[in-house]
Amino acid sequence: MSFILYLMRHAKSDWSKAGISDFDRPINRRGQKNARHIGQWLLEHNNIPQQIVSSAALRAKQTTELVVEELDSKPEKVFYDDKLYLASAKTLLEYIQVYKAGLNSLMLLAHNPGIEDLVAYLLTKSEPSGASTLSITTANVAVFNYDDNDFDIYNDKAELIEFIRPNDISH
């Protein structure tokens, strides 16, 4: 059975209030709308992650909650982890390797530059002859498919099967 890996960057954050720490910055109105659009797209295309592991930063948590609200069938588990806040691609790879056990799909929701670096790394492994990099702007989702759930994130190739931008979704 194949394994689906969803890599998502948090939705657009709100910079209007001075004095808020970066960790505690919420998402803005556009971010709320975009997170809901991603959830609706996932539902409409029957792409419900079995489990979600998200950064514990407020904007990532709010993004996760809004995506999940749009899903009829909820993920089995949703985890929030402080260590995913501004995590490097290396840290994100470690999380995938740990959390994928026993699953058929996993969504990792984090921040740039880590999430963008991770997508670039996976693309390079999959298409070493001139793989293009993707700019992972807010609320973008890269969806990768592995042949089975026993893959090694460090060595096995994945296929990029979807790249979703909220602006490309008509709702």
**Residues 60/111, Cβ–Cβ less than 8 Å:** yes
Give the pLDDT confidence score for residue 170 in this predicted structure: 63
Tokens 């070493």 locate to 128
Predicted TM-score (pTM) of this structure:
0.94
Alpha-carbon distance 144 to 161, whole Å?
Answer: 6
Q: Is the pLDDT of residue 101 over 70?
A: yes
- 136-168 pLDDT, tens digit per residue, is 999 999 999 999 888 988 889 999 999 999 988
- 59-89 pLDDT, tens digit per residue, is 999 999 999 999 998 999 999 999 999 999 9
Phi, psi of 119 (to 5 degrees): -60, -45
> Could you tell me the two tokens for 140?
């973008």
Q: Specify the fold of 3-168.
A: Rossmann fold (3.40.50)
14-42: average pLDDT: 95
Angle between helices 89-99 and 114-126 (to 10 degrees): 70
Give the type of residue at 25.
R
